[in-house]
Amino acid sequence: MDAEISLRVDGESHRLTVDTRTTLLDALRERLGNTSPKKGCDHGQCGACTVLLDGRRSLICLALAVAHDGAEITTADGLAPAGELHPVQQAFLEQDAFQCGYCTPGQVCSAVGVLDEVDRGWPSHVTEDLTGDVELSHDEVAERMSGNLCRCAAYVNIVPAVQQAGGAR
Partner 1 sequence: MKPFSYARPGDVAEAVREVAAEPNAVFLAGGTNLVDHLKLGVATPDLVVDVRTLTSQEVTDLPDGGLRLGAASTNSEVAADRRVRERYPVLAQALLAGATGQLRNAATTGGNPLQRTRCVYFQDVTTPCNKREPGSGCSAVGGYTRYHAVLGVDAALPDPDAPGTCIATHPSDMAVALAALDAQVQVLGPSGARTLPFTDLHRLPGDDPATDTTLGHGELITAIDLPPLPAGTRSAYRKVRDRASYAFALVSVAAVVTDDGVRLALGGVAHTPWRATRAEELLRGRALTDDVVRAAMDAELAAAQPQPGIDGGNGFKIPLVHRTVVATLRQLTTEAQA
Question: What amino acid is encoded at 145 in this protein?
Answer: M
42 binds partner 1 (CB under 8 A): yes
Residue nearer to partner 1 on the CB measure, 36 or 58: 58
3-state helix, strand, coil split of the chain in percent (to 5) is: 35, 15, 45
CA 108 to chain centre: 6
Residue 161: what are its φ and ψ, rounded to 5°? -65, -45
Minimum separation from the CB atom of position 84 to partner 1 (A): 26
As a three-state string, the secondary structure of 87-105 is HHHHHHHHCCCCCCCCCHH
Give residues 44-63 in contact with partner 1 (rule: CB under 8 A): 44, 47, 50, 53, 56-59, 62-63
By CB under 8 A, tell whether 38 contacts partner 1: no
Give the interface with partner 1 as residue ranges (CB under 8 A).
Answer: 1, 3, 19-21, 23, 42-44, 47, 50, 53, 56-59, 62-64, 66-67, 110, 113-114, 117, 120-125, 127, 130-131, 142-144, 146-147
